[in-house]
């Protein structure tokens, strides 16, 4: 610009920085996005209007909640659907074959990649990139499989940056009311509850361990001769750490469209344990008793370790969203809830703390449940 000196340019830059800062930060230097009001719902049914920063503070104190901002207000509790599950295993040979092909090096590599993102915070560029990586990883697996004409990998977008990923293995009754859909879930995002945008959150256990486990289950099914009678879906949820935001969006949509979900089996924090012997935690509260009984039966049939019953409270993982909208849900975790990984939500949730012998057992469980419920 003719006539402008270095002094003029410095002044313009300063004004620009101040203007941007006015809109991005408050007078105390806190990002405005953390001050926007959100509506949360607590276990007693009461609601509160909180800023994002206050919401994170509440979570850091161990208080779980649903963030119901933008979710329809249903004054009455939605009735729970009831499903019947197989009484015995009928595909033991196929399950044994697929279990023998589990690639734990691939599981380790996937956890390493996911935990290498600075953070997977759902409203950040890192969170978006982690969803992009996951989507591309799955799409590549599908393209090279014999299931490519029957499997769809899709993005479920939300009002924040990170999207959820849904993988659908279509059964013969897909799209019909008499389909019996089983969903296997895990969440993509990670967060640091202090400053989610600025402090790292590798989230190796919470919950890259679960995402990688479900990815390996997908890989084994893609390489199998499984003849599906029912549709199987694999969900990778965005924004679990923000109050089950992504899974609420999805299960609200399924409820409104009357999608025939037979079961939702959720994996969350499945890679850390200091217990001897190892065991799989089956969460008994805010879940389906009949589905839990089936999960416990499958653990005794296909895993090399036993289960322990535990409770984790209201809205503690994405299975809570399925339960909220009336779908039968189950949640499996790494140990009794009182003994789970205390390094989560911090830079210390790293891959070197994980127990891959434990993770292997969850992969076995996932394979067994897919084979049996998919052919039931």
CA–CA separation, 113 and 47 (whole Å): 38
* Confidence bin at 214 (pLDDT 50/70/90): very high
Q: How far apart are CA 107 and CA 216, in angstroms?
A: 6
Residue 49's contacts (CB-CB under 8 Å, 6 or more residues apart) are 37, 38, 39
For the chain, which domains are there?
92-374 (3.40.630.10)
Residue 74 has pLDDT above 80, yes or no: no
The answer on pLDDT for 284 being more than 90 is yes
pLDDT at 320: 98
Would you state the pLDDT for residue 296?
99
The predicted-structure confidence for 98-148, as pLDDT tens digits, reads as follows: 999 999 999 999 999 999 999 999 999 999 999 999 999 999 999 999 888
pLDDT of residue 146: 86
State yes or no: pLDDT of 326 exceeds 60. Answer: yes
pLDDT number for residue 334: 99
Query: How far from chain centre, in Å, is Cα 195?
Result: 21
The answer on pLDDT for 2 being more than 80 is no
Q: Which two tokens stand for residue 86?
A: 């197989």
**194 band by pLDDT with thresholds 50, 70 and 90:** confident
Residue 300 — very low, low, confident or very high, per pLDDT cuts 50/70/90? very high
Question: Mean pLDDT of all residues in the chain?
Answer: 92
> What is the pLDDT averaged over residues 61-90?
89
Q: Tokens in use for 198?
A: 């600025």
Q: What does the pLDDT read at residue 20?
A: 47
The Cα 241–Cα 231 span in angstroms is 28
pLDDT band for position 314 (50/70/90)? very high
- Predicted confidence (pLDDT) at residue 17 exceeds the cutoff of 80: no
Tokens standing for 307? 């289960």
Number of helices and strands in the chain (H, E)? 10, 11
């Amino acid at each position: 610009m003719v006539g402008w000196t270095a002094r003029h340019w410095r002044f313009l830059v300063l004004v620009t920085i101040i203007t941007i800062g006015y809109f991005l930060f408050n007078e105390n230097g806190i990002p405005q996005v953390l001050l926007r009001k959100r509506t949360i719902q607590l276990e007693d049914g009461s609601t509160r209007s909180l800023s994002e920063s206050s919401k994170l503070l509440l979570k850091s104190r161990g208080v779980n909640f649903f963030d119901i901002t933008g979710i329809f207000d249903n004054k009455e509790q939605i009735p729970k659907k009831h499903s019947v599950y197989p009484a015995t295993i009928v595909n033991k040979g196929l399950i044994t074959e697929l279990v023998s092909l589990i690639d734990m090096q691939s599981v380790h590599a996937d956890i390493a990649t996911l935990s290498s993102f600075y953070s997977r915070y759902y409203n950040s560029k890192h969170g978006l990139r982690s969803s992009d990586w996951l989507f591309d990883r799955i799409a590549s697996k599908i393209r090279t499989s014999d299931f490519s004409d029957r499997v769809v990998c899709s993005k479920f977008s939300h009002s924040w940056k990170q999207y959820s990923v849904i993988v659908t293995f279509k059964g013969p009754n897909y799209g019909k009311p008499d389909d019996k859909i089983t969903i296997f879930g895990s969440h993509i995002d990670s967060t640091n509850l202090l400053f989610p945008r600025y402090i790292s959150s590798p989230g190796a256990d919470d919950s890259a361990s679960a995402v990688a486990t479900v990815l390996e289950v997908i890989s084994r099914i893609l390489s199998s001769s499984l003849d599906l009678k029912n549709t199987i879906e694999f969900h990778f949820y965005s924004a679990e750490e923000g109050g089950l935001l992504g899974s609420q969006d999805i299960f609200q949509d399924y409820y409104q469209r009357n999608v025939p979900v037979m079961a939702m089996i959720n994996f969350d924090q499945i890679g850390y344990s200091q217990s001897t012997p190892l065991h799989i935690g089956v969460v008994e509260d805010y879940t389906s008793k009949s589905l839990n009984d089936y999960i416990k039966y499958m653990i005794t049939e296909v895993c090399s370790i036993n289960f322990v019953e535990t409770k984790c409270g209201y809205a503690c993982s994405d299975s809570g969203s399925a339960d909220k909208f009336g779908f039968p849900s189950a949640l499996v975790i790494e140990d009794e809830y009182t003994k789970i990984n205390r390094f989560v939500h911090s830079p210390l949730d790293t891959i070197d703390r994980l127990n891959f012998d434990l993770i292997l057992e969850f992969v076995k469980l996932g394979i067994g449940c897919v084979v049996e419920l998919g052919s039931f």
